[in-house]
Copies of this chain bind each other. A is one copy, B any other.
Amino acid sequence: MTLPYGKRTMTKNNLILGMALTDGYGNLRGAWRAPNVDPSNYVNIEANIRYAQAAERGKFAFLFTPDFPAVRADVERAPISNIIEPLISLTAISQATSRIGFVATGSTTFQEPFNQARQFKALDVLSHGRAGWNAVTTSDPAVAANYGRPVAERTERYQRAHESIQIVQALWGSWEKEAWIKDQASGRFADPSKLKPINLQGEYVASRGPLPIPPSEQGQPVIFTSGGPSPHLLSIAGRYASGFISEVWTIEEARAQRAMVRRAAEEAGRDPDEIKYIVGLMTTVAPSVREGLDRRIAIAGDTLTAQVPHLAAMLGVQLQHSQLDQPLTPEQLAAAQASPMDPRSGPALEVARQGWTVRDILAHGVIDYHPVTVGPAEVHADHLQEWFEAGAADGFWLSPDVYEDGVDAFVDHVVPLLQERGIYPTEYPGRTLRENLGVPELYGLDPRVTSGEDS
């Protein structure tokens, strides 16, 4: 467990971009039916490779694969929503790319730590230091049922998560930096004193080790986590994570969360700059806002207009379907109030006040998983810059509306603008994911982090 620190890239141009790889189509409802989209793309690794290569052209630091392994959606009308398998898909993509990193979601509840340690480190080694693990506890009952179990209590899930992550990190470090001699002349292959068992025994999981895989170019994979800032999750993030993937709708919310995440790292004895807070953003890049909205309406049409009642509730006004192509009346606008129950209500009200029709308000994506930006490059660049400079994010994970042309559009139009503004790198800072995130190398458990279990 030597050398916890390594070189560090920290410049002004350090806004981080990642991209979600989901179902092969895109994150706008109906993307699979868009005219230029092949409806088989859910299983076409070739399509995902194209998207990854486009993101790499745009110097994206990583691809991120969310994962809830179950059939969740209404499969009759909408695609099953995630990549068929994160590690297998990203491994295939690694062979067709050279710089972009791979943050694969992996459950601490439904995986054996030894298998997880092994597969992630294998990808790290064969991608030459580009792997990351988004460690989540997975609380979806449909997923649990696929493993023949009920969802465990949160305390149990997080206890197992601490144990799993510590075992995985210890296994990653069990082959130490100088262990591999491989001297053909003398015949010494490895130094057994630097390739040692870990002998970790938790309440839920255990492993003897060592893991017979040497360090990669970045030492070991980067740990991420994602979720809301509960004390349970913050304890995971603070101790182990170098990236935190979040879901927030406003700058204020993001700043508060980022501060909590950074404080958690500090409390675990780490430098808060070592954990990158990454917020979501869904993008539609188009020559103008009007054309962007039209694109969204053409693709997501019916599913947008079905949201009228939801919008009405968010704004506290009555909205009729017949009002779809009208803006809110002055009376409605005067009466409207952002619902405190839904953080998206404030941004939605702002859009309504700009005078858009109800259909266009919805086409702005005001009811979605993340903030949505629609329009020419400036709209997206302004959003990214504003959040970044406000200390609301260290980076963003983007979900393009339609992968087939949405990644290229962002890379060709928005990325150059970010580079001109001096907030985004023009070349990859390094060759490994850690270098491109600006987080230190690590071998094994971080010695600054107490190793006792937490509950």
The answer to whether A79 and B189 touch (CB under 8 A), given A126-B92, A182-B39, is: yes
- Is the Cβ of A69 less than 8 Å from the Cβ of B39? no
Q: Which residues of B contact A92 (CB under 8 A)?
A: 91-92, 94-95, 126
In the complex, residue of chain B having the shortest beta-carbon distance to the beta carbon of A75:
B190
- In Å, the complex CA distance between A30 and B186 comes to 11
In the complex, residue of chain B having the shortest beta-carbon distance to the beta carbon of A302:
B187
- In Å, the complex CA distance between A314 and B45 comes to 53
Q: Which residues of B contact A149 (CB under 8 A)?
A: 206
Interface residues of A in 73-111 (CB under 8 A from B): 75-80, 84-85, 87-89, 91-92, 94-96, 110-111
Interface status of A208 (Cβ within 8 A of chain B): yes
Query: What string of 1s and 0s marks CB contacts (under 8 Å) between A34-66 and chain B?
Result: 000101101101000000000000000000000
The answer to whether A189 and B75 touch (CB under 8 A), given A84-B212, A92-B126, A212-B80, is: yes
Copies of the polypeptide in the assembly: 2
- Is the Cβ of A89 less than 8 Å from the Cβ of B122? yes
- Is the Cβ of B112 less than 8 Å from the Cβ of A187? no
The answer to whether A119 and B43 touch (CB under 8 A), given A207-B146, A207-B147, is: no
- Is the Cβ of A188 less than 8 Å from the Cβ of B126? no
- In Å, the complex CA distance between A265 and B231 comes to 56
- In Å, the complex CA distance between A63 and B96 comes to 21
Interface status of A230 (Cβ within 8 A of chain B): no
- In Å, the complex CA distance between A324 and B209 comes to 40
The answer to whether A195 and B71 touch (CB under 8 A), given A78-B189, A92-B92, is: yes
- In Å, the complex CA distance between A214 and B44 comes to 11
Q: Which residues of B contact A89 (CB under 8 A)?
A: 122, 126
- Is the Cβ of B114 less than 8 Å from the Cβ of A69? yes
Interface status of A213 (Cβ within 8 A of chain B): yes
Query: What string of 1s and 0s marks CB contacts (under 8 Å) between A187-198 and chain B?
Result: 111111001000
Pull 22 A–B residue pairs with CB atoms less than 8 Å apart, ordered by A: A32-B182, A33-B184, A39-B183, A39-B184, A40-B182, A45-B95, A75-B189, A77-B188, A77-B189, A78-B189, A80-B190, A80-B212, A85-B118, A85-B122, A88-B91, A91-B91, A92-B92, A95-B95, A111-B115, A114-B147, A142-B208, A146-B209
Q: Which residues of B contact A208 (CB under 8 A)?
A: 142, 145-146, 148
Interface status of A346 (Cβ within 8 A of chain B): no
Interface status of A392 (Cβ within 8 A of chain B): no
Interface status of A210 (Cβ within 8 A of chain B): yes
Name 13 extra pairs, CB < 8 A, besides A75-B189, A89-B122, A114-B146. A39-B184, A71-B195, A71-B210, A77-B188, A78-B189, A79-B189, A85-B118, A91-B91, A111-B112, A115-B115, A145-B207, A147-B206, A149-B206
Q: Which residues of B contact A115 (CB under 8 A)?
A: 110-111, 115
Interface status of A70 (Cβ within 8 A of chain B): yes
- Is the Cβ of B43 less than 8 Å from the Cβ of A214? yes
- In Å, the complex CA distance between A210 and B71 comes to 7
Query: What string of 1s and 0s marks CB contacts (under 8 Å) between A144-159 and chain B?
Result: 0111110000000000
Interface status of A205 (Cβ within 8 A of chain B): yes
CB distance from A406 to the nearest CB of B (A): 18
Q: Which residues of B contact A95 (CB under 8 A)?
A: 45, 92, 95-96
- In Å, the complex CA distance between A84 and B216 comes to 12
- In Å, the complex CA distance between A23 and B207 comes to 23
Q: Which residues of B contact A112 (CB under 8 A)?
A: 110-112, 147
Interface status of A16 (Cβ within 8 A of chain B): no
Q: Which residues of B contact A119 (CB under 8 A)?
A: 85, 87-88
- Is the Cβ of B75 less than 8 Å from the Cβ of A192? yes
- In Å, the complex CA distance between A111 and B114 comes to 10
Q: Which residues of B contact A184 (CB under 8 A)?
A: 32-33, 37, 39
Interface status of A318 (Cβ within 8 A of chain B): no
In the complex, residue of chain B having the shortest beta-carbon distance to the beta carbon of A174:
B71
- In Å, the complex CA distance between A46 and B384 comes to 38
Interface residues of A in 273-308 (CB under 8 A from B): none
Contact of A76 among B39, B146, B191, B212 (CB under 8 A): B191
Interface status of A123 (Cβ within 8 A of chain B): yes
- In Å, the complex CA distance between A123 and B212 comes to 23
In the complex, residue of chain B having the shortest beta-carbon distance to the beta carbon of A212:
B80
CB distance from A145 to the nearest CB of B (A): 4
